Amino acid sequence: MRTVEWDQGAVKMIDQRALPWKLEFVRLETVEAVAEGIRNMTVRGAPAIGAAAGFGLALAAQRSDAETSDKLVSDLIEQGDKLKAARPTAVNLAWAVDKLLQIAGSGAFKSPAELRAGLLAAAQEIADEDVAVNSRMGRHGAALVKDGATVLHHCNTGALATVDFGTALGVVRAAFEAGKDIHVLLDETRPRLQGARLSAWELEQLGVSYDIIPDAAAGYFMQKGEVDIILVGADRIAANGDFANKIGTYQLAIMAQAHAISFYTVAPTSTIDLAVSSGDQIPIEERDPAEVTTPYGNPIVPGRFKARNPAFDVTPHRYLSGIVTEHGIARPPYTESLRRAVAGEKV
């Protein structure tokens, strides 16, 4: 099944807030509903957010009552801004919106009806390409994972974080399907517990061996020699290789270097933002502190207690062993290898 898809005039997606207790789907019939679904993490994961945004803009075209192509493009620019504002860190969201807006403004369509059909086809292409890209990344990354290896993983980067197959967990899946015996240590990933809730659910479906561990226990398992490789995803990769990912990634990278453990991020080239020279320029989303103090509506401290809730942190490229893309594994200097990857060249 796909995490997000077009469904007869609406955007259909798995409600990831309900997992692992229930597998539920929602149909979003307005751009505002899609933006809110991205904001409230009904859908999450940079590639999945990008696909959702693409379908969201196609939905905006379908819902617009514009009678001319110029008016339709104007409407789409306004609706695209709503989608982009939903979550600022994951570049895939803006990438998908801008890609469709570029198509809309190309003048290639003779009528609003053709433009609407063209945008829906383009959004579907983004979704289909995501699946193909993830499969290629999985094959490239699987070569890094030895038979019998224990992989440490943070957050969720499987099929749920993409349209299907996954990025970092897609590497695990590809290695497992190639016959390798793999065990995965899953950081629970507070405060929303994407590792404990979503990654564990996905690995259970695949039949991959795993253990959920507290976020604070990652260093313990590295120190005990029980981690062979660390695989994480990315929400935005700067031109120099610095990357933003789920909060807690930075400290894993530092510990990995201290214990001489290979540390890779796995992401499609749509996550690479060459317009951003370093991680210092990546905007970091801060979410509602209630996610920390009252996770999923369950208070764990008194309401008067204050909290901070940055959703991401930035890991400097010097801690990376490499960046797995659909065109191969990028290595330093990243300013050169990432540019080649974005251009579609083998790295």
Q: Does the annotation count 228 as an active-site position?
A: no
Closest CA to 93 of 43, 53, 42, 35: 53
Dihedral angle sign, alpha carbons of residues 272, 275, 278, 282 = negative
**What is the rounded CA–CA span in Å between residue 301 and residue 101?**
45
- The one-letter amino acid at 340: R
CA distances from 45 to 2, 4, 48, 66, 261 (A): 13, 11, 5, 32, 25
For 278-310, give the DSSP string. SGGGS---B--THHHHSGGG--SS-TT-----B
Q: What pairing do the DSSP bridges indicate for beta strands 272-273 and 328-330?
A: unpaired
Give the other-Cβ count within 10 Å of 318's Cβ.
11
CA distances from 122 to 37, 101, 210, 280 (A): 21, 10, 37, 32
Of 130, 235, 242, 313, catalytic = 235
Three-class DSSP category at 315: strand
**What is the rounded CA–CA span in Å between residue 315 and residue 236?**
11
Q: How far is the first Cα of the chain from the last one, in angstroms, to the nearest whole number? A: 31
Bridge partner list, 263:
230
Q: Could you tell me if 103 and 118 are in contact, meaning their C-beta atoms sit under 8 angstroms apart?
A: yes
Q: Could you tell me if 182 and 38 are in contact, meaning their C-beta atoms sit under 8 angstroms apart?
A: no
Give the residue numbers marked as catalytic: 235
